[in-house]
Amino acid sequence: MEAIVVKSTGSWITVRAADGKKFDCKLKGQFRIRDIKHTNPVAIGDRVVVEQTDGDSHGMITCIRERENYIIRKSKNLSKISHIIAANLDHAYLIVTLAQPQTSNGFIDRFLVTAAGYHIPASLIFNKTDIYSPELMKVLDELTSIYEKAGYPCYRVSALRGDGVPVIRRCLEGKVSMFAGHSGAGKSALIKAINPELNPRIGKLSVTHQKGMHTTTFAEMLELGGNGYIVDTPGIKEFGLIDFDKAEIPRCFPEMERFLPLCQYKNCSHTHEPGCAVKSGLESGEVSTLRYNSYLSILNDR
């Protein structure tokens, strides 16, 4: 039987069959040993083959189909081990907050680079607009202009008040999408606002730091009223890039891409070389300083 992984808690992997039925499965031993590079041998969204055991409700995963794409990041503190957040996605959304907690540009750009690297369309959802001061609204306008120019749709919502939620609901229709972001950004709250029948746990912010308390602990694919699926994910603090070549990174900045063939040197790193077209794009304003600085920072990561 073919099925899709919808939840994995470490001890059990929940899969959904084509008819919507769910099974708790174990993984055949061989995968655990084979895939030592990742902390998780199966990821949410994986297409798998399941053999039913134990009557109706349990199964054994015997095969993991090749992934079309995935969002991957470095595991905390273990630089060589990676974690696949979700696989086989139609769209990846980063839930961004300018306050409580604040999302940094470096975090946004590392996420977008990862999505671009695997050709997953990505968008930004700015949440908590109900608490933004006039100054933060100006920052929001600036960021929206920068990211939309770079080719990333930007949305504004308040999961709390419901502002902007219908637009997101329509975006998710008929697709498998993922919400990622810092803990406390409101991923689960937004899912609840999109579909009140769903009941993901929603946390509180820590009183001292106004950050989330890691309420969602396992990624889970939830069904949006029979018309689309959303993967709710645990909050992440940093987004460590993995599996990227230095030369690949400029191609993951869509607004830089068209300048790349115009650089004087074929192996231009776009940092100091004469005749660099990316730098001329920076001077003319077609490449923003904010994004270019993220590019430099990501180059320095490796």
Ligand X SMILES: Nc1nc2c(ncn2[C@@H]2O[C@H](COP(=O)(O)OP(=O)(O)OP(=O)(O)O)[C@@H](O)[C@H]2O)c(=O)[nH]1
For position 164 contacting ligand X by CB under 6 A, the verdict is: no
For position 183 contacting ligand X by CB under 6 A, the verdict is: yes
As a residue count, the chain comes to 302
Binding partner of 268, given Mg ion, ligand X, Zn ion, none, CB within 5-8 angstroms per partner class: Zn ion
- Subset of 15-44 contacting ligand X (CB under 6 A): none
For position 278 contacting Zn ion by CB under 5 A, the verdict is: yes
Which window, 7-15, 18-26, 38-46, 210-218, contacts ligand X (CB under 6 A)?
210-218
For position 7 contacting ligand X by CB under 6 A, the verdict is: no
For position 205 contacting ligand X by CB under 6 A, the verdict is: yes
Which window, 27-35, 106-114, 157-165, 210-218, contacts Mg ion (CB under 5 A)?
210-218
Binding partner of 88, given Zn ion, ligand X, Mg ion, none, CB within 5-8 angstroms per partner class: none
For position 102 contacting ligand X by CB under 6 A, the verdict is: no
Binding partner of 301, given ligand X, Mg ion, Zn ion, none, CB within 5-8 angstroms per partner class: none
For position 128 contacting ligand X by CB under 6 A, the verdict is: yes
Binding partner of 130, given Mg ion, ligand X, Zn ion, none, CB within 5-8 angstroms per partner class: ligand X
Per-residue contact flags (x/-) with Mg ion for residues 152 to 191, judged by CB under 5 A = -----------------------------------xx---
Which window, 155-163, 166-174, 258-266, 275-283, contacts ligand X (CB under 6 A)?
155-163
Alpha-carbon distances of 137 from 2, 8, 129, rounded to whole Å: 47, 38, 8
Which window, 34-42, 50-58, 153-161, 289-297, contacts ligand X (CB under 6 A)?
153-161
Binding residues for Zn ion, rule: CB under 5 A, are 263, 268, 270, 276, 278
